Structure 1
Amino acid sequence: MKRGILLAALLAWPAAAHDPGEFGLPTLSPAAQTGTSAAAPPRAQPPGQTLPMKPSRRISFETNEATWASLSLSPDGRTIAFDLLGDLYVMPVSGGRAKPIAQGMAFETQPVFSPDGKWLAFVSDRSGAENLWVMRPDGSDARQVSFRDDDTPLTSPAWSADGGAVYATRFLPDRNAYELWQHMLSGAAELIAPVPSNPDQGGGTTRHAIGANASRDGRYLYFAALVGGINFDSVPEWTLRRRDLATGEETVILPEPANRRGGAAGAFFRPVVSPDGKTLAYATRRDGGTALHVRDLETGADRMLAYPVQRDLAEASAWQDLFPGYAFTPDGKVLIVGGNGRIERIDIASGARTNIAFAAKVNADLGALQAPDIRQETGPVRARLIQTPELSPDGRTLAFSALGRVYVMPADGSAKPRCLTGGGDPEFHPSWSPDGKTLAFVTWTAKGAGHVWTAPLDGAAPPRRLTAAADYYTSPAFTPDGAAVLALRSPQAARLLTYMEFGNQRQATLVSLPVAGGAARDILTDTMGGKPHFAASPGEVYLQFADGLNAVDLATGKRRRAASIVGPGYYFIEGAVPVDDMRISPDGTHAIAIIAQQLHLVDLRGNAEGRVDLLKPGPAHRQLSDAGADFLEWADGGRTITWAVGSTFYRMPLEGTEPTTTEMVVEVPRDTPSGRLLLSGARAITMNGDAVIEDADILVDGDRIAAVGARGSFPVPPDATVRDVRGKTIVPGFVDTHDHVADVRRDVLDMAPWGPAERLAYGITTAFDPSTLTIDGLAYEDLIDAGLAVGSRMPSTGPALFSFNRFESLDEVRAVLRRYRDHYRTFNIKQYRAGSRRVRQWIAMAAQELGMLATTEGALSLKLELSQIIDGYGGSEHAFPVTPLGRDMVEFAARSGS
């Protein structure tokens, strides 16, 4: 089973190391989890590609420690090559001054000497994506060997015995798996240990291979292997395998079937075979730490050589392998090993460990640091979102919901919006009657559930309730004759018991409600969603199901698939996934769809099955939006396409290329307290270092703390209300800088959300959400600022930028970031593994240009976190996965300013 955020299981790969709501990622429908088409072939890049960012600053310092140093020893035993903070160095095997051979903004790791000592293979993203490179040991003659142009991390290069090829492992995010490749220096590549496609359908048959090491005689290839999914609730049971390169036969070296040793059974990795092929060194998890063992390959004798050594990454992203690279000396008597900030010699016979002292000068070129001054908004609260906007049949009036109310206003923006009703329960999902005189909408509260209503546009009569039983209703729509309103109904309890809502499909019943009054009629119960809408036949209504857009017979409830449109999904899903929302045109010839937060137009003519893959270029579809799209609808009988971003409404003719835009401005007063209040006598813990005032006065003036001091130390305004708080301790409000407020109700909003109120009750006055999953977090921020909901302030990044954006240029990135800054009015964004290093640099560059602050997802990957710091990102949302951190890491992180 592929794992999104589920109630009991999390994302595929490292999410299990975090809290269930940690990543702000969705629970996926079965169709979305599996994907609906095979993944595209790997993208190839032409030679000569470079990183787009130019350095704007440099930090320099000396270090005698190297965190997670992966090293190699020259065949003559005289020179060590190792990586340090994404740069490559060489030094004598005795230690001393390390010489840099590859420095710059590119992140380069895991240098490995060729069998003849004339070349180093290494991993580099200097072409914009991670690829295999070779160069001379002095840093000259660098050339690219592999040419992948995607976001798949590469790790663990190792030479073949004849020096004609380099083995390396690719991590495939969409399958959460590691596969082993052989790259010929001529440019050809062969998949050595493939990962099965669609592993969810294979009963746990996913195979992983990492950390290859070839014997000197060319007979065998040793590597770590794992069968099944990676789950960090426990240490994955990596095994050691040996492949006969002549026959392809594989033998399991460890664990031994009859004798699984103490410690974590099966946690064996990073094999290195001695020059004579008789001894195998490897790392293993033991007693909560990591040990190095040596094994006699002839007798099977196995013993621990050193413990503890560098703590492994078995419970993190092994994008620099599970253990740093290390090497035998040419005589096979000593291991040269990096770890815990040191490089040391370990004698094979005695286990004696000797430090190899070294010194290295770090000159790190960095991108411009994002550090804009971001202020809280003041004055009236202007709604960031207009939800589900819909044009009237005559195209003159727009209906939408904002801040829990249904509004109508001239579509050209010539007059201010007005509330459709006089108040009552919160209102959502307005929908026009065919004659344009009436609007249907739904109401909902957590305490009282909700109903479906109609109200005249002119306000001549009060709203009329169409439903008898209170429940959770959504997406009302008039039938073409105007005689009934269709809606989706779910039990109120089911909604209240849902931890995190995501997507527009749920278990629901399609109901028909007579406008003139009478009993509701159930048409169909299924997992479905989207807005009911009509095409050519008035007897069929269209809704989304797991297999795509279906036409439902209003008389019988039977359904048939009308269209299946798929496109890019989250990085952990293999292949294309169903679109988030779609509508078929009134004449059935076209469809509009939103996926990856962009609007697409699809031509269905001549497509009997209605199957379209937006990942595949072709004349059948085109992207209409550049900044993005939140909501979509047809108008004008299918001659016009409409959509909204934030509070901006877009209209464009079906055959057009340039939309017209109108700002829909909804403003309400900001909930700002007035008056003065003196809190007197409390013990005050201040923000002035560790200063504590035992008998304090705290003066609050409006929404500001005006003064803090000892009792009587400052004048108190005569109009201040004095409150005796002796015996209490008062602390500054807590600011939670990483809080995924995942348990709010989405789309149909909850005006009394318990999550934000709970946070406030525990003293959190600001809860910053660095990835809201959906745009609803923006609406809750406005509701709280307006006093329409109670809770901590909730600034956020809005939805994170993921790889499904498929950015192809800096201009595309700029357009999307302007959506956040100009439409959502958030100057913070979250870059969540949005693509290759090139793409991540584009995002950093665009954020810097637009005065925004981008934070990042660390993904339990050291090289991802470090490369993002190099690129000038202002923050990283998770801890470094490596422990301990050496002086190099501490200095680098502190001096970078991120």
Structure 2
Amino acid sequence: MNPAYGRTLKAVGRTALRFFAPVAALTAIAFTVAPLAAQPPRPGGPGRNPLPLRGARTAEFTATEGTWISLDVSPDGQTIVFDLLGDLYTMPITGGKASPLLTGMAFEVQPRFSPDGESVAFISDRSGGDNLWTMRLDRTDTTQVSRGNNNLFLSPEWVPDGEYIVVSRSGGLGGSANLYMYNAERSSPITIPGAPTSPILAALFGGIKRIGAAFSPDGRYIWYAQSFGDWEYNARLPRYQLYRYDRETGTATLMTNRYGSAMRPAISPDGEWLVYASRYNADTGLRKRNLATGDEEWLAYPVQRDEQESRAPVDVYPGYAFLPDGSAIVVSYGGKVWNVPMDGSGPTEIPFEVDVELSIGPSVKFDYQIDTTAMVTASQIRSPVVSPDGGRVAFTAFDRLWVRDLPEGEATRLTEADVGEFHPQWSPDGASLAYVTWDDTDGGHIMRVPAAGGAPVQLTGTAAMYYNVAWSPDGERIVASRGAARDLMEASGLFFGPMGAEFVWVPAAATAPAAATVISPTGLRDVAHFASDDPDRIYAYSPVEGLVSFRWDGTDIKRHLVVRGRQGIAGMANPHPDEWEYLPRRVYPWRKGPDPTDVDPPTEPGFAQPAGLIVLSPEGDRAFVQFGNDIYIVDLAEVGSAPPNILLTNLGASPVPVRKLTDVGGEFPAWSPDGSALNWAMGNVLFTYDLDHVESEEAEEEETAHARALIRARAMAISDTLSDKRAEADSLENADEEVPEELEDEITRLQADSVQVVADSLMARADSIREAAEEVAARASAVRDGDKEILADTTDTYEAHERRIEVQLPRDIPRGLVALRGGRIITMAENPGDTTGAPHVIENGVVVVRDNRIVEVGVADSVEIPDSAQVIDVSGKTLVPGYIDTHYHSMWLVPEIHPQEVWQYLATLAYGVTTTRDPQTAFTDILSYTDRVLTGGMTGPRIYSTGPGVFNGENIRDADHAKTILRRYSEYYDTKTLKMYMSGNRQQRQWIIQAARELELMPTTEGGLDYKIDMTHAIDGYPGIEHNIPVAPMYSDVVELFKESETTNTPTLLVSYGGPFGENYFYATENAHDDPKLNMFVPKENIDARTRRRGSGAGGSPGPVGWFLEEEHVFPRHAEFVKKMLEDDGRMAVGSHGQIQGVGFHWELWAMAAGDASNHDMLRAATILGAEAIGFGEQLGSIEKDKFADILVLNSDPLDDLRNTVDIRYVMKDGRLYDGMTLDEVYPEERTLERRRPAETDPASTSAGIRGN
């Protein structure tokens, strides 16, 4: 008998301690071997610092005027509380120095005194997003009343009893809003229903908006303003009317019917008067109504222009208040605060002075270098497909077909054809590739080429637009979608795909062109493919039907899978719907959103969108799903006629297994031939997700987990049995009875077993740790040896393997030496020795250009022109830098099958824009178009872009997730920038700007018709805001903020926010229709759509109205802000928005000058400030030595008349000189611009037999 285990009670007790210690250790080990999954906080969730950004700069200035000041008067009439740039202040009723009440990074607005005067209610985003808050004026308590961070709150108002607060709340970060009543100390609101409305009208206009509540003195009635929808472009008035809600009867009554709308009601303390805002002609005034008689008259006019033509995030008119005795209102307009007597005796200014100390985020500005290497590496590989043996990958780059060995190898072209080559697919035996071609003149065909190289074979006899080819499993047929070539040849705007397209097939082994056999019309289906064991059925995807299949004659249609998701927070309506959805691979013909005729409409509320693409695996047991930027795997479960309907927003509740494969995103997903892996691309990186490997690892993990569970079960069983046996032994000991030897032996055995279980567990854990360590060490060794294709996978989540595919072509750089001599040079450089701001102008100057760089600039007599230089006399001309369009859209580039010529870029370059930045491309095709310009395959300006925007559909979870998403732009697209497109609440937007700074990206933002969000962009340090701020006028407080934050505003006044689009003014006053230069580059249909008739939808212009009285146009008001900014060293840039190609840049420039900015300041905005805004101020934007040679030669001087900007003689882009009228090359070679696009036919020469009648 082992003496260590004595028979005495005391000894047994010691033994028990020895047993329970290792068992406790075993239990701890067993239950903690598997790491707990990290649980990221929900957006805006609770945390120590809901707003992560900390101020790094301070805007310090004294303000005596302010923009959109909302205020209230204390119940005792002695104090005014007001907001300024998101901080709250108080001041005496007589005015004077204001005292800060709430300051900091949070944006806090619309303060309202409680009836007892001891607290204020206000709206703040300090929790990470908008919420209703209260604060005691003695600062003893600040309370968050509402909850959640994904709503928009505005215009709080206390119920007269002081127990409740009524506030407007949207169902998301924008959109329609309703009135809710919150107890001041509780967070569950009561909905105030408002007036009954037609559900059809509400749906048509995007819901009902009820804002600006005001109470009658007894609290019975709530007055508010109501509109259909959030906002409307090119709106027809009225937009808002006043309603009165009776809290006793629950009924709401329409109380106004004014053409100019009725907004922001206020009721006098005695209940005698109603005051509200209304538009009269082009200005806003305040009206007063005697509530006893109904008589009305104007109280003050003009005042602050209302916000009824924007989102009105801080209401359609700033908050104001009656004095307690009802004798006057205190209101802000003209940047000041006024006492306006009700008796009409005239307003009195209440002067104020605010010492502003506004915290601003860190600077996020970088200077980038333009790549000058001799070879251009393709920035994008498109449609990569891996060969059946896994040894090669075929893809499109530079719009040509390439193959490369895997894992290493050099990319080579398979053909020498001068046509576009797209959508390659391997034959089942891997011996051939099928693909489609495109030629702007001749159309396209289905081709087959040997994978080992050789002459391609044209399989189709009829030229058409072919796309999305697929081999049948037996390799005998090639299926494709086909549309008329004419549809692509004549595309002059947003291309929705060919009309009347059909599925066709051709014999794969054909040796000569042949007629294709029609299968069926495509309808809304596309991307034909097969299951390897089912050659009799063709699978395809439709955004309406989901994944479907049919026979070779188009019959026996079956539906297999429907997948939907949400593109963002409900209510976050996009100001530009055509920029909303991002489909990395387009299904032709494409559309956005669920179809109203869908046979299985989504039942989930919110923005349920169909997947972008679903493709069945070769085995037919699962499918990949592309939704937005992400790729998923979904198992199939055949259940008869009704397919499974999967909603990606709640994968845990999915009826079938769903796996998300991406985090940073992916494009062009394709199955490996055996279905064991999924490949996709992003930029020029090929991703491979080995599903077999993942499933094998998961099986091993399940086995390990099962073994650990068995260990735990065994340990617990031993523990329970040992406890029972010890209890039995203790009972005998206590009864002074001898413990049987067999019982002691059993206790000893159980104790030994317990130790062995601990040992087994520790050994298993050690083995697991050793294996993980060896794997990490192997990865580290591989990286140390230079293998950058192996990713360190140290997380518990499998990551796809990445392999960068480098494909190179020579960079297009003109060679030679040229001197532009005799012209007047407006350099846009700093004027040496000048302190007055006078422009730097060189009379009788010379610019010498070697290759694509400026090597000398100066007065003709001081510059020695080399004998080898070609001299071009530009005497009497004016030279300026090439224009930079910082908000350019092509409206839009054709996706997938790329034309060889892009007329939009030709028009843009011909009108002097040598650099474009497209801030939200919707698709990544622009990367390939850019590659073609860089290599000389296409003529166009310098093309920069943000790529597709970062929308709120990304659902940013935390700072790390934001960085992951932004790696898409820094590591894969290499855009140097991105567009933060209203990407969520304030917390999420701050995570994005932090990630951008870390990754050295210069983001710009969507202005979104939202004054409040625009101010937070500037405060957070975003370097760019696209579109004008909708509020007008704006005052020095905003100028100071923008100046300190170094935020560049590109106002795009042709699509003015807050009023009619500025383009309508120019369509009414310019003759674009008959402009010979415009007609040379822009298709006639595109011009006709914009110029022959204006109105709803003309040329893509949204809204119901297309013609406006000149005084109705708002762009001159916004142009006043342009002038203030430029005169005070602020930053403005010029962006045409692509409203009309070419001349649109000049219209925008002239619109921005309508506020009387100097011509030189406007040229700064068009050149050097634009270059700095996109990070290339050291490379572009001025005519200086060592900068790139982007120069315009004008026939007349824009300093004399800004409209001379369009009078272009020559365009030099990157050292190559073009004729400004025709784009024929003048230097270094003389050659006529080759136009590939077929000329449009004029029917004038065609006789119908009745000419002259």
Equivalent positions of 1:674-753 (< 5 A) are 674-688=815-829, 690-753=839-902
Q: Which residue of 1 aligns with 2:518?
A: 522
Aligned counterparts of 1:849 and 1:727: Cα–Cα separation in 2: 49
Q: Judging changes above 3 Å, is the alpha-carbon distance between structure 1 residues 289 and 190 closer, same or farther for their aligned structure 2 residues?
A: same
From 1013, 1016, 1035, the counterpart of 1:867: 1016
Q: Judging changes above 3 Å, is the alpha-carbon distance between structure 1 residues 422 and 761 closer, same or farther for their aligned structure 2 residues?
A: same
Q: CA deviation at 1:600?
A: 1.6
Q: Are 2:777 and 1:784 equivalent residues in the alignment?
A: no
Equivalent positions of 1:395-406 (< 5 A) are 395-406=390-401
Q: Which residue of 2 aligns with 1:7?
A: none
Q: Judging changes above 3 Å, is the alpha-carbon distance between structure 1 residues 646 and 887 closer, same or farther for their aligned structure 2 residues?
A: same
Asked whether the 8 Å contact 1:647–1:665 carries over to 2, the reply is: yes
Paired residue type of 2:466? Y
| Deviations 1:75-113, CA, capped at 9 Å, x for gaps | 111111100000001111111111111100000000011
SS in 1 for 2:1042: helix
Asked whether the 8 Å contact 1:590–1:602 carries over to 2, the reply is: yes
Asked whether the 8 Å contact 1:523–1:557 carries over to 2, the reply is: no
Paired residue type of 1:844? I
Q: Which residue of 2 aligns with 1:664?
A: 805
Aligned counterparts of 2:450 and 2:894: Cα–Cα separation in 1: 28
Aligned counterparts of 2:75 and 2:963: Cα–Cα separation in 1: 49
Aligned counterparts of 1:44 and 1:890: Cα–Cα separation in 2: 30
Q: Are 2:626 and 1:594 equivalent residues in the alignment?
A: yes
Q: Are 2:429 and 1:435 equivalent residues in the alignment?
A: yes
From 658, 671, 675, the counterpart of 1:638: 675
Q: CA deviation at 1:582?
A: 2.4
Q: Judging changes above 3 Å, is the alpha-carbon distance between structure 1 residues 114 and 101 closer, same or farther for their aligned structure 2 residues?
A: same
Q: Judging changes above 3 Å, is the alpha-carbon distance between structure 1 residues 630 and 507 closer, same or farther for their aligned structure 2 residues?
A: farther
From 549, 553, 559, the counterpart of 2:551: 553
Aligned counterparts of 2:494 and 2:463: Cα–Cα separation in 1: 20
| Deviations 1:23-58, CA, capped at 9 Å, x for gaps | xxxxxxxxxxxxxxxxxxx99945876211122222
Q: Are 2:644 and 1:610 equivalent residues in the alignment?
A: yes
SS in 2 for 1:213: strand
Q: Which residue of 2 aligns with 1:567?
A: 565
Aligned counterparts of 1:94 and 1:607: Cα–Cα separation in 2: 76
Paired residue type of 2:565? G
Q: Judging changes above 3 Å, is the alpha-carbon distance between structure 1 residues 697 and 445 closer, same or farther for their aligned structure 2 residues?
A: same
Asked whether the 8 Å contact 1:89–1:101 carries over to 2, the reply is: yes
SS in 2 for 1:864: helix
Q: Judging changes above 3 Å, is the alpha-carbon distance between structure 1 residues 146 and 663 closer, same or farther for their aligned structure 2 residues?
A: same
| Deviations 1:601-636, CA, capped at 9 Å, x for gaps | 222347762211111131632321121101101114
Q: Judging changes above 3 Å, is the alpha-carbon distance between structure 1 residues 877 and 140 closer, same or farther for their aligned structure 2 residues?
A: farther
Q: Which residue of 1 aligns with 2:464?
A: 471
From 495, 499, 505, the counterpart of 2:488: 495
Q: Judging changes above 3 Å, is the alpha-carbon distance between structure 1 residues 121 and 701 closer, same or farther for their aligned structure 2 residues?
A: same
Asked whether the 8 Å contact 2:53–2:990 carries over to 1, the reply is: yes
Q: Which residue of 1 aligns with 2:381?
A: 386
SS in 1 for 2:394: strand
Q: Are 2:689 and 1:652 equivalent residues in the alignment?
A: yes
- Please, which moves more after superposition, 808-817 or 164-173? 164-173
Q: CA deviation at 1:684?
A: 2.9
| Deviations 1:193-228, CA, capped at 9 Å, x for gaps | 489999689455832211111222011010001236
Asked whether the 8 Å contact 1:858–1:878 carries over to 2, the reply is: yes
Aligned counterparts of 2:1037 and 2:802: Cα–Cα separation in 1: 52
Q: Are 2:541 and 1:544 equivalent residues in the alignment?
A: yes
Asked whether the 8 Å contact 2:543–2:611 carries over to 1, the reply is: no
From 951, 961, 964, the counterpart of 1:815: 964
Q: Judging changes above 3 Å, is the alpha-carbon distance between structure 1 residues 59 and 726 closer, same or farther for their aligned structure 2 residues?
A: closer
Paired residue type of 1:467? T
Q: Judging changes above 3 Å, is the alpha-carbon distance between structure 1 residues 883 and 351 closer, same or farther for their aligned structure 2 residues?
A: farther
Equivalent positions of 1:208-287 (< 5 A) are 208-227=209-228, 230-234=231-235, 235-255=237-257, 260=258, 265=259, 267-287=261-281
What percent of counterpart residues are identical? 37
Equivalent positions of 1:94-113 (< 5 A) are 94-113=94-113
Q: Judging changes above 3 Å, is the alpha-carbon distance between structure 1 residues 174 and 75 closer, same or farther for their aligned structure 2 residues?
A: closer
Q: Judging changes above 3 Å, is the alpha-carbon distance between structure 1 residues 790 and 853 closer, same or farther for their aligned structure 2 residues?
A: same
| Deviations 1:569-610, CA, capped at 9 Å, x for gaps | 264374220122221222332221222212222223477622
Q: Judging changes above 3 Å, is the alpha-carbon distance between structure 1 residues 612 and 526 closer, same or farther for their aligned structure 2 residues?
A: same
Equivalent positions of 1:146-161 (< 5 A) are 146-150=146-150, 152-161=151-160
Q: Judging changes above 3 Å, is the alpha-carbon distance between structure 1 residues 492 and 106 closer, same or farther for their aligned structure 2 residues?
A: same
Asked whether the 8 Å contact 1:268–1:283 carries over to 2, the reply is: yes
| Deviations 1:317-364, CA, capped at 9 Å, x for gaps | 210000000001111110000122101100001251000011111111
Q: Which residue of 1 aligns with 2:75?
A: 75
Q: CA deviation at 1:237?
A: 2.3
Aligned counterparts of 2:230 and 2:158: Cα–Cα separation in 1: 28
Q: CA deviation at 1:685?
A: 2.9
Q: Judging changes above 3 Å, is the alpha-carbon distance between structure 1 residues 833 and 506 closer, same or farther for their aligned structure 2 residues?
A: farther
Asked whether the 8 Å contact 2:487–2:499 carries over to 1, the reply is: no
SS in 1 for 2:651: coil
Q: CA deviation at 1:813?
A: 1.1
Paired residue type of 2:368? I
| Structure 2 length-normalised TM | 0.65
| Deviations 1:494-516, CA, capped at 9 Å, x for gaps | 23444544788975211111224
- Please, which moves more after superposition, 512-521 or 105-114? 512-521
| Deviations 1:732-753, CA, capped at 9 Å, x for gaps | 2111111112332212122211
Q: CA deviation at 1:672?
A: 0.9
- Please, which moves more after superposition, 419-428 or 604-613? 604-613
Q: CA deviation at 1:534?
A: 1.2
Tell me which protein shows more strand as a share of its residues: 1
Q: Are 2:663 and 1:626 equivalent residues in the alignment?
A: yes
Q: Which residue of 1 aligns with 2:742?
A: none
Q: Which residue of 1 aligns with 2:1143?
A: none
Which of 1 and 2 has greater Rg?
2
Paired residue type of 1:250? A
SS in 1 for 2:368: coil
Q: CA deviation at 1:417?
A: 0.6
Aligned counterparts of 2:440 and 2:517: Cα–Cα separation in 1: 25
- Please, which moves more after superposition, 310-319 or 570-579? 570-579
Asked whether the 8 Å contact 2:383–2:396 carries over to 1, the reply is: yes
SS in 1 for 2:409: coil
| Structure 1 length-normalised TM | 0.91
Gaps of 5+ in 1: 1-41
Aligned counterparts of 2:333 and 2:820: Cα–Cα separation in 1: 54
Q: CA deviation at 1:828?
A: 0.9
Q: How many residues align?
A: 846
Asked whether the 8 Å contact 1:313–1:321 carries over to 2, the reply is: yes
| Deviations 1:539-594, CA, capped at 9 Å, x for gaps | 22222213222213222345332111111226437422012222122233222122
Asked whether the 8 Å contact 1:568–1:595 carries over to 2, the reply is: no
Paired residue type of 1:124? S
Gaps of 5+ in 2: 1-41, 574-592, 594-605, 695-797, 832-838, 1048-1253
Asked whether the 8 Å contact 1:129–1:836 carries over to 2, the reply is: yes
Q: Which residue of 2 aligns with 1:86?
A: 86
Q: CA deviation at 1:637?
A: 1.5
Paired residue type of 1:758? A
Aligned counterparts of 2:77 and 2:664: Cα–Cα separation in 1: 56
Aligned counterparts of 1:228 and 1:130: Cα–Cα separation in 2: 20
Q: Which residue of 2 aligns with 1:482?
A: 475
Q: CA deviation at 1:141?
A: 0.8
SS in 2 for 1:539: strand
Aligned counterparts of 1:319 and 1:626: Cα–Cα separation in 2: 32
Q: Which residue of 2 aligns with 1:184?
A: 183
Asked whether the 8 Å contact 2:175–2:206 carries over to 1, the reply is: no
From 444, 447, 451, the counterpart of 1:453: 447
Asked whether the 8 Å contact 1:193–1:209 carries over to 2, the reply is: no
Q: How much is the aligned-residue C-alpha RMSD, in angstroms?
A: 2.2
